[in-house]
Amino acid sequence: MKQQNYDLIVVGTGFASTFFLKKYLSKASKSAKILVLERGHLFPHAERLKEKRRESTPFAKLNDHSHNTFINNNPEKIWEFQAGFGGSSNCWFGCTPRFMPSDFKMKSLYGVANDWPVQYDELDSYYDQVEEAMSISGPEETPYPRSKPYPQPAHAFNTVDVLLKKKYGNLYINQPTARAKVPVNGRGSCCVSAECSVCPVNAKFTIENSNLGVYEDPRIELVYGSQVFGLELEQNMVRKVNYIKDGKEHHASAEVFALGANAIFNAHILLNSGDTSRLTGKGLGEQYGLQALVYLDNLANFGGGTWVSGNGYMLYDGNHRKDYAACLMESNNAPFLRLEKGKWRDIASFRMIFEDLPSEQNYVAPTADLMKPEVNFKGPSAYTLKAVEQMKQKLPEVLACLPIEKIEFQKPFASEAHIMGTTRMSESPEEGVVDKHLIHHKYRNLFVLGSSTFTTFTPANPTLTLSALSLYAADKSF
Ligand SMILES: Cc1cc2nc3c(=O)[nH]c(=O)nc-3n(C[C@H](O)[C@H](O)[C@H](O)COP(=O)(O)OP(=O)(O)OC[C@H]3O[C@@H](n4cnc5c(N)ncnc54)[C@H](O)[C@@H]3O)c2cc1C
Ligand code: SF4
């Protein structure tokens, strides 16, 4: 630590922190002093590839495995993420649809959960900025409004996508994605190898390959191996951050603080610090998903330019959301075969992803070990489970333009790898933890970033939206 007192201290180096810093740096003075505390280390892409090839690399042991960083009281439910520089940008798959405008108005449109205090229109230009920064590839028409075209052209559909597009128009689109179509900033072009957790050609956007210039900025001091465990709170302000580095306790003070440690650790740090907001830690959740295998009668499914080639919105929006959850379809295009002679390609595979509602029975809590939270999860809501049953009934009709032999549903995934809801955004402190600018309702110099702030859990992938929210928060607040 070079300074005694900083203008800003940021925790974590994932999407939430990095997009917040990007906007903050564009507005801050040349002499601004910013400390970034990262619990892990840089594990470069080239070294990750070695690990994937089962070659040895000294970097492999630098970062804690996520499963060792918290106590999971329900081992049937998995929470997936990666600690270390860039967070889960290193292993994410780069699916980046926007939310629908209706996702922000669940209470006023459907009488369910709460409305978000921020609305789609306010985020539109920040969505544009994140899509530009990540060089998102996407289609010309979308079910949600856009004021600008996507920076990169869409990836090609596969055979089945083409038929669904013809039938459903803008309710069936090429998936918007951070898996590059055109090589950009040293990233290669996606070639459908479907090994996206460590992309062999570095096609997907990561914080490491982002080219955003954030961590090269001389105003930033980035300190690795620093695990934040608490904040010192005084009269509704944060005064200091407390962390462990090299086995020793350290403290640093600043005017403003930002937590970007994900929905488990943002809540844990606040709870360790004595945050008395009733909802801190509560409402942990994510989407619920399962795979539908569609066996086709004499239709060879072929082509497609990326791992997920289509998104279907046929079961997403509408009045049914008063009663049961929205469902987003992903056309999964990883190379796979039907195991029947002469029918190798007569199959399509869809991931069906359902929204869920935050519930207080699912929560993060502190433990006797200051460095390790516990995670409690009872299960998805009845609202979500009803939608799964409805989808099973409706899917044959939705796919009626295809020559279907049979549909098989697989058992639900243990994780969608999207962790949300433990510091929710709300109009009032009674209904949540942070306001529309992601500032804590009580501690007014503290930003809480990322999908822990999501008011509800729409079926769309969260990262584009949480990154846009980070830009929005930094833009509106400085
Ligand atoms: C396998 C996988 C696939 C995914 N695919 C997609 C996808 O296709 N589309 C999509 O939208 N989303 C996807 N996600 C989710 C996406 O990765 C997350 O939404 C996103 O990474 C969240 O960003 P974040 O910055 O809030 O948190 P993280 O990425 O979790 O980053 C948190 C950062 O904080 C650091 N940190 C944590 N605790 C502390 C502490 N106490 N002190 C200091 N530093 C700390 C971490 O080391 C890390 O740098 C996927 C996730 C996984 C695991
Ligand atoms: S499908 Fe293959 S090339 Fe495309 S992002 Fe994933 S791993 Fe990379």
Give yes or no for a contact between 285 and 40, defined as CB atoms under 8 angstroms apart. no
Gap between the Cα atoms of 440 and 460, Å rounded: 25
Of 65-74, 75-84, 185-194, the one with minimum mean pLDDT is 185-194
Q: Which residues pair with 327 in a beta bridge?
A: 354
On the question of pLDDT at 239 being above 70, the answer is: yes
Q: What spacing in Å lies between the alpha carbon of 472 and ligand 2's midpoint?
A: 30
Task: Determine the distance separating the centroid of ligand 2 and the alpha carbon of 72, expressed in angstroms.
Answer: 31
Task: Tell me the average pLDDT across 467-476.
Answer: 97
The CA distance from 204 to 196, in Å, is 8
Report which secondary-structure segment, H or E, holds 406. Answer: strand 404-409
For residue 434, is pLDDT > 70? Answer: yes
pLDDT at 192: 86
CATH architecture of 5-147+197-284+417-477: 3-Layer(bba) Sandwich (3.50)
pLDDT category of residue 3 using cuts at 50, 70 and 90:
low
Sign of the alpha-carbon dihedral angle for 274, 279, 280, 284: positive
Q: Are 424 and 432 in contact (CB under 8 A)?
A: yes
**CA–CA gap between residue 195 and residue 98 (Å, rounded):** 23
Q: What distances in angstroms separate CA 225 from CA 31, 179, 250, 337, one per listed residue?
A: 26, 30, 12, 44
How many whole angstroms separate alpha carbon 202 and alpha carbon 197? 10
48 CA from centroid of ligand 2 (Å): 15
User: For atom 27 of ligand 1, which residue has the closest CA?
Assistant: 262
Which pLDDT does position 194 carry in this prediction? 85
Question: Residue 263 CA: which ligand 1 atom is closest?
Answer: 26
Average pLDDT over residues 418-429: 97
C-alpha to C-alpha distances, 291 to 83, 158, 208, 334, 412, nearest whole angstrom = 28, 18, 31, 13, 7
424 pLDDT more than 80: yes
CA distances from 231 to 127, 170, 240, 372 (A): 31, 47, 6, 15
Q: Is 471 exposed, middle or buried (0-12, 13-18, 19+ CB in 10 A)?
A: buried
Q: What is the mean pLDDT of the chain?
A: 96
Among candidate residues 313, 314, 323, the one with its CA nearest the CA of residue 109: 323
pLDDT band at 287 (very low <50, low <70, confident <90, very high): very high
Within 13 A of 317's CA, how many CA atoms are on the CB side?
Answer: 16
The domain spans of the chain are 5-147+197-284+417-477
- CB of 39 closer than 6 A to ligand 2? no
Q: Check pLDDT > 90 for residue 79.
A: yes
Share of the chain above pLDDT 90, in %: 95
Q: Measuring from each residue's beta carbon to the nearest atom of ligand 1, which residues come in under 6 Å?
A: 11-17, 37-40, 80-81, 83-84, 87-89, 91-95, 197, 227-228, 260-262, 265, 417-418, 450-451, 461-463, 466
- From ligand 2's centre to the CA of 477, what distance in Å? 37
Q: Is the pLDDT of residue 155 over 70?
A: yes
Structure tokens at 122: 């306010």
Read off the DSSP letter of residue 318: S
pLDDT at 195: 87
Q: Cβ atoms within 10 A of the Cβ of 202, count?
A: 19
pLDDT at 193: 84
| Predicted local confidence at residue 390, as pLDDT | 98
Q: What residues contact 180, with CB distance under 8 A and at least 6 apart?
A: 135, 137, 152, 187, 188, 189, 190, 203, 204, 205
Q: What is the pLDDT of residues 346-395, one digit of tens each?
A: 999 999 999 999 999 999 999 999 999 999 999 999 999 999 999 999 99
Give mean pLDDT, residues 68-77.
Answer: 95
Per-residue pLDDT, 450: 98
